[in-house]
Amino acid sequence: MVSHCISNAGATSCKTEMKPVKKAIIIGAGIGGIATSIRLAAKGYHVEVFEKNAFPGGKLHVIEKDGFTFDAGPSLFTEPENIVELFGLAGEKWEDHFSFTSLDLSFNYYYENGKVIRAFTNIDALANEVHEQTSENKIAIKKYLNNAAKAYAGLGDVFLNYPLHKWRTWFHPRILKAIKGLRLGYLIGSLHEYNRKSFKSPELIQLFNRFATYNGSNPYVAPGMLSMIPHLELGQGTFFPKGGMISITNALKNLADRLGVVFHFNQEVDAIVSKEGKIKGISIKETIHESDVVVSNMDVYYTYSKLLRDAKKSDKVLKNERSSSACIFYWGIKKGFDHMHLHNIFFAQDYEQEFQDLFKHKQLHADPTVYVNITSKFESGLSPEGHENWFVMVNAPANDQLDWNAAQPMIRQAIIEKMNRMLKTDLEKLIITEHVMTPMDIQKTTSSYLGSLYGSSSNSTWSAFLRHANDNSDIKGLYFTGGSVHPGGGIPLCLKSAKIVSNMISP
């Protein structure tokens, strides 16, 4: 609403005109898409979200089977302030709609030599635990995490919160702070080399190498800059959302609803429509839905290849190496394992060979690292009494060359043998229900190309700069959000991408 006032001979008359409400269409109701819809609705846009599935959340949805409830995808919750901020934009108190608790322990790490390291979120407690289990110098672990905190506050602020392809990002005083936090080991050498110089214990080196998998990368070639990632989990804290991870999706979807965002489920977009370099809207079954702004939360490769039919751009996206994918088993277990935690890692004996297999040979490793997430330890009702809901994941290559009909039972047996060996149990007899998701299932459900969980990997020093930008230089009004574009995959980064996009779009 705009008012125009004119004064004449001491009298003032005003005429009020209705300013047209701008419209935004978002393709995909993943976490990045929902968060973007909230931000644009808070700016005054009329927002509509079109989702091909019958449910919101993308990878962050839920699977229910035989009395067990499993979070289907992301299972680690850090940086809750990204969600709290969204409620603030809407003028609401987040505590009225969302709840989470801070955890004293982030992960249990199990090694084939029988050692177990409990990764406490208190740095002093962590240093004591690591020293007790590995004889590693306590000062070394504190120094490492202190450097990670400094890097995240400087380099991380620039790389994760601002568009890297905009010149204004680089001509700002914050760049000086980022440069001060720059260490030679971040740019020269791999994360593994950085960790090998930081620690003596092979167990601790392997533990911190694992953080490269948080964006689907290989620690033996990914840059040392990824050493800032542990700060999120061990420095800022690890959390558990009440109701499980699906409560994040539900809380944000409900917030978007209250802001007037309109969701269209079971609506697959056929094309993005533009004219003379300017966005016009989208097309579904030959019907044009006009819009001032279109934001794609779809994998950027499929955005170009299917929705824009731009083979040149889609081929360019694929020049960047794909991140890893996953093979996930959702097991209902008829027993409680008291010594296990919410998050548990059972390491491969030969970690370097595992990543050689994944990224070089494009195959599953015979003795994979196994991640087990058990939310029923923190939330009643997610499994029958005396039972546990196991989310069991191994890293997998992002490709469509594997015969998953043959590979799935083989990797299942490898996991069971490993768990039997390390837990001294007979796991096969304890599994009473099962659901499986392979990389091809992930591709089908979430339109993530080849099942790649994070779009492109970070297996080079310049990966952050090569990741696709959040806008399109050829089509004004077209933007991108979610895990396949800047700044990357995972819940915190998807929420940050939504903020970057909304800051680019005028009120």
215 and 300 inside one domain? no
251 and 235 inside one domain? no
Pairing state between β 46-50 and 262-264: parallel
53 and 130 inside one domain? no
Residue 255: CATH number of its domain: 3.50.50.60
With both helix axes pointing from N to C terminus, report the angle between 31-42 and 81-89 in degrees, rounded to the nearest 10: 30
> What are the tens digits of pLDDT across the range 158-201?
888 888 888 787 677 776 666 666 665 566 789 999 999 999 99
Block residue for tokens 């594997």 = 402
81 lies in some domain: no
Write down the pLDDT at residue 2.
Answer: 43
Question: How far apart, in Å, are the Cα atoms of 355 and each of 122, 215, 369?
Answer: 30, 14, 10
350 lies in some domain: no
Show which of 244, 264, 283 is a domain's final residue.
244
Q: Is 409 exposed, middle or buried (0-12, 13-18, 19+ CB in 10 A)?
A: exposed
Low-confidence ranges of the chain (pLDDT < 50): 1-5, 7
Write down the pLDDT at residue 291.
Answer: 98
219 and 166 inside one domain? yes
> What are the tens digits of pLDDT across the range 431-463?
999 999 999 999 999 999 999 999 999 888 777
Write down the pLDDT at residue 181.
Answer: 61
236 lies in some domain: yes
316 and 464 inside one domain? yes
142 lies in some domain: yes
CA–CA gap between residue 506 and residue 502 (Å, rounded): 8
394 lies in some domain: no
Tokens found for residue 162? 């601002």
**468: Cβ–Cβ under 8 A, 6 or more apart, which residues?**
300, 317, 455, 456, 480, 484, 485, 486
Alpha-helical runs (H) found in 451-507: 463-466, 491-504
Q: Are 259 and 38 in contact (CB under 8 A)?
A: yes
127 and 221 inside one domain? yes
232 and 132 inside one domain? yes
Give the residue numbers spanning the domain of 200.
Answer: 123-244
Show which of 244, 270, 293 is a domain's final residue.
244
Write down the pLDDT at residue 4.
Answer: 45
262 and 166 inside one domain? no
Q: Are 133 and 116 in contact (CB under 8 A)?
A: yes
Block residue for tokens 């790490």 = 109
Question: How far apart, in Å, are the Cα atoms of 454 and each of 59, 67, 74, 213, 491?
Answer: 11, 31, 11, 10, 11
275 and 233 inside one domain? no
233 and 265 inside one domain? no
Write down the pLDDT at residue 13.
Answer: 55
477 lies in some domain: yes
DSSP for 86-142, please give it.
Answer: HHHHTT--GGGT--EEEESEEEEEE-TTS-EEEEESSHHHHHHHHHHHH---HHHHH
62 three-class SS: strand
Block residue for tokens 């004064």 = 7
Q: What is the DSSP letter of 324?
A: P
* pTM score of the predicted model: 0.93
Number of domains in the chain: 2
